[in-house]
Amino acid sequence: MIKRVLIANRGEIALRIQRTCRELGIETVAVYSDPDRNALHVRNADYAVRIGEGPALESYLVIDKIIDAAKQTGADAVHPGYGFLSENSRFVDACVEAGITFIGPTSEAMRALGGKVSARRLMEAAGVPIVPGANDIDAADFATAAAEAERIGFPLMVKASAGGGGRGIRLVQRAEDLENAMRAAGSEAASSFGDATIFLERYISPARHIEVQIVADHFGTVRAFGERECSIQRRNQKLVEEAPSVAVTPEIRKRLCDAAIAAAQSCGYRNAGTVEFLLDRDGNFYFLEVNARLQVEHPVTELVCGGIDLVALQIAVANGEPLSEEATTVDPTGWAIECRINGEDPYANFAPAVGLVDFVEYPNGPGVRFDTMLYSGLDIPVFYDSLLGKLIVWAETRPRAIERMRRALRDLVISGVQTNAPFHLALLEHPDFLSGDFSTGWLESTFVMPELAEDDERLEPALIAGAMAEQTTAGRSSAPGVGAADMSRWMHGAREIARRGIRHDGGTSGWRRGTASR
């Protein structure tokens, strides 16, 4: 049985895994780079090991350092989280060779599913619908690609065979643009993944991005936990996820879940994973890929499945336990929505934002969950992705879940660093989102971030209140005679700044769009 888990990750997902381990009586080992020395996942672990400098290539992506840290601390298992080494089959092999349990799928299943082309072939053989396309094309073989493209038809997608995270993907509308798209996708794939092989796929549009959470044990049992809607995307990156999907009927849900189970069985998959599909307006769906790990958006599934703990299920499967009927036969109920809170400025084309977090106040209340790495005084490093936390809500219906998310976003206070919270508030008021009438291309083609009315007469007191709140929470003493009621008004002002997306650039008149900042 697993007694000590090394978490080969950082940030909110490391904290998420730690909480489950603590509930199960399992000790945890944190690994950290120099910029993460004071991170919460380091503070909360039973053991912590430094693994290098800030860049991930010198720390979180170095397999030998992770294995050495596990050996030093006597960890008998590794949980990879998501990102970094979570889908690296060589890392799985290294764990096995060191006698360390890897909490995830086997390296064989990971390799079979890791390549987009090999995964397409597996799915086709298993009877899972795939998008018409052409596999294994050299990025410099323009003649072959042109002939295949004529067969497939335009528009089409050029995709990196070893791609992921939205990289190595290009949309091609016309034949004359194919060569440039292949060069760009191949170059990006080669630099990001060391493999310039591409494939072509018919462009399904409009389409929704629908995914199914699965967990499989060592005994051939595969359980599908319903679908998640992940169509709100910018630059192929998800921003909002919800469960269930407004576009999925019970009949479609059953077919999706059956296809996801078949996908897992096609390669002897074990542990947690996600099978992703494109769903068109006629109810037809096509295999997209398998993420052989825990997903960022797994909390929405947990909330609609009665609070089931997917990390606990991962650990149980890694321990060789069968999936119990009680733990896996929960029918999804209610509605859950997740907003990714990123360090970026929605009023400046989502430019990245890092730096010192002066003050943070978490939202709470019924049906609200905030998975985050943030605390007041945290210096956010520049080396990693922009995700600061995930705000998740559950309610009995989608309209109530939307209203609860609005309330939670307004209750969220982050001062010192810009976030995309104002974007989420604007999105939740858009009629297309409210009606559920959107697809993967909707955000970039239709949604426009509204301008902020800087002459709003309610703005000045909010700015003053926010400034006072920042001054107080940054460690300086409050003004003489400040009472609880005054402080409450100041904190309300700080929330108003965060809600309206205002920040200060210095001086007496430097307030502008963005989240409250020093």
349 and 469 co-located in one domain = no
Question: If 0-12 CB within 10 Å is exposed, 13-18 middle and 19+ buried, where does residue 398 land?
Answer: middle
In a domain, 350, yes or no: yes
Average pLDDT over residues 157-167: 77
Residues 361 and 244 both lie in one domain: yes
Who wins on pLDDT, 331 or 61? 61
What was the pLDDT predicted at 440?
A: 95
* Closest C-alpha among 39, 38, 49 to residue 13: 39
**Euclidean distance between CA atoms 256 and 463, whole angstroms:** 49
- The reply to whether 251 falls in a domain is yes
Residues 144 and 166 in one domain: yes
Whether residue 418 has pLDDT greater than 70:
yes
Asked whether residue 122 is assigned to any structural domain, the reply reads no
Answer whether residue 125 is part of any domain: no
How high is the mean pLDDT of the chain?
Answer: 88
Specify the pTM: 0.84
Domain contains 453: no
Residue 436 lies in a domain: yes
7 sits in which H/E element = strand 4-7
Question: Are the beta carbons of 3 and 27 closer than 8 angstroms?
Answer: yes
Domain boundary among 51, 86, 103: 103
Does 121 reside within a domain?
A: no
Residue 473: per-residue pLDDT: 46
Please answer whether residues 18 and 6 qualify as being in contact, where contact means their C-beta atoms are separated by less than 8 angstroms. Answer: no
Is 124 among the domain residues? no
Peptide bond into 55 cis (omega under 30): no
Lowest mean pLDDT among 7-11, 18-22, 514-518: 514-518
3-state class of 100 per DSSP?
A: coil
Confidence of residue 65 (pLDDT cuts 50, 70, 90): very high
- Cβ count within 10 A of residue 480: 5
138 shares a domain with 77: no
One domain for residues 198 and 211: no
Residues 215 and 342 in one domain: yes
* Domains contained in the chain, number: 4
> Within this chain, do residues 482 and 344 fall inside the same structural domain, yes or no?
no
Q: What is the pLDDT of residues 182-191, one digit of tens each?
A: 999 988 888 7
pLDDT in tens, 338-397: 999 999 999 999 999 999 999 999 999 999 999 999 999 999 999 999 999 999 999 999
Asked if residue 226 lies in contact with residue 301, where contact means CB atoms within 8 angstroms, the answer is: yes
If asked whether residues 369 and 440 sit together in one domain, one would say: yes
User: What's the pLDDT score for residue 475?
Assistant: 45
pLDDT at 514: 37
- Domain range for residue 9? 4-103
For 367-376, 446-455, 474-483, which range has the lowest pLDDT when averaged over its residues? 474-483
**Is residue 423 predicted with pLDDT exceeding 60?**
yes
Q: Where are the beta strands (DSSP E) in 244-386?
A: 271-280, 285-291, 335-342, 344-345, 351-352, 355-356, 359-361, 368-372, 379-380
Which one of 84, 103, 122 terminates a domain?
A: 103
Q: Which of 202, 233, 252 is the last residue of a domain?
A: 202
- pLDDT higher than threshold 70 for residue 230: yes
Domain match, 275 and 293 both: yes
- pLDDT range class, residue 164, cuts 50, 70, 90: low
Are residues 190 and 315 both part of a single domain?
A: no
pLDDT score of 48:
98
> What are the pLDDT digits (tens) for 479-503?
334 444 444 444 444 445 544 444 4
Which percentage of the chain shows pLDDT scores above 70? 86
Q: What is the CATH number of the domain that holds 10?
A: 3.40.50.20
The domain that holds 420 is classified in CATH as: 3.30.470.20
pLDDT number for residue 22: 98
Q: What is the pLDDT of residues 234-268, one digit of tens each?
A: 988 999 999 999 999 999 999 999 999 999 999 99
Active-site annotation holder among 120, 293, 500, 513: 293
CATH number at residue 190: 3.30.1490.20
For residue 184, give the H/E element and its range: helix 178-193
| Distance separating alpha carbons of residues 354 and 56, to the nearest angstrom | 17
Residue 118: pLDDT above 80?
yes
- Same domain as 247, residue 198: no
Query: Do residues 279 and 141 both lie within one domain?
Result: no
CB atoms near residue 397 (< 10 Å): 10
What's the CA gap between 506 and 518, in Å, rounded?
Answer: 8
Q: Does 234 participate in catalysis according to the annotation? A: no
